């Protein structure tokens, strides 16, 4: 199996795992947290792949300008929506007192011992 085919298969498996984690009716809190973990892990996997592509000039030369523009535009919109959601959730957490009274080190590393 070629490397690209293997990557596509891995991505499809991540999608299936994310869909499976969201398929239960009325999930409890733990199931929701597990679902978030799977989704973030899947996003991370994809981002690592994108970084490998973008950092490889041999790969990037395979795309024409219009394709690069479309890819760039899609990623920018995704990044903006994802970060806007991050800000909203962080603000809600702050309103609920998350992070109050913690040192900077504890803020960056909440499980720091």
Distance CA 94, CA 100 (A): 8
- What would the pLDDT profile of 34-86 be if each residue is shown by its tens digit? 999 999 999 999 999 999 999 999 999 999 999 999 999 999 999 999 999 99
Rounded-to-integer distance, Cα 13 and Cα 7, Å: 10
Map out the domains of the chain as residue ranges. Answer: 1-62, 64-99
Nearest to 102 by CA among 89, 111, 92: 111
Tokens for 11, please give them.
Answer: 């991505």
Nearest to 9 by CA among 45, 33, 36, 40: 45
Quick check: 11 and 46 in contact, CB under 8 A? yes
Round to whole Å and give the CA distance between 11 and 47. 11
Higher pLDDT, 40 or 23: 40
Extract the tokens encoding 79. 């990044």
Q: Are 31 and 24 in contact (CB under 8 A)?
A: yes
Q: Is residue 22 over pLDDT 50? A: yes
- The band of 113, judged by pLDDT with boundaries at 50, 70 and 90, is very low
Mean pLDDT taken over the chain: 88
């Amino acid at each position: 199996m070629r490397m690209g085919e293997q990557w596509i298969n891995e991505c499809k498996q991540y999608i299936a795992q994310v869909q499976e984690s969201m398929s239960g009716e009325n999930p409890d809190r733990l199931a929701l947290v597990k679902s978030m973990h799977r989704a973030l892990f899947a996003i991370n996997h994809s981002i690592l792949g994108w970084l490998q592509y973008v950092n490889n000039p041999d790969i990037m030369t395979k795309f024409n300008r219009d394709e690069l523009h479309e890819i760039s535009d899609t990623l920018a919109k995704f990044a903006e929506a994802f970060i806007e959601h991050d800000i909203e959730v962080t603000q809600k957490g702050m309103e609920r007192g998350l992070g109050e009274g913690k040192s900077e080190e504890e803020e960056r590393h909440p499980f720091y011992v």
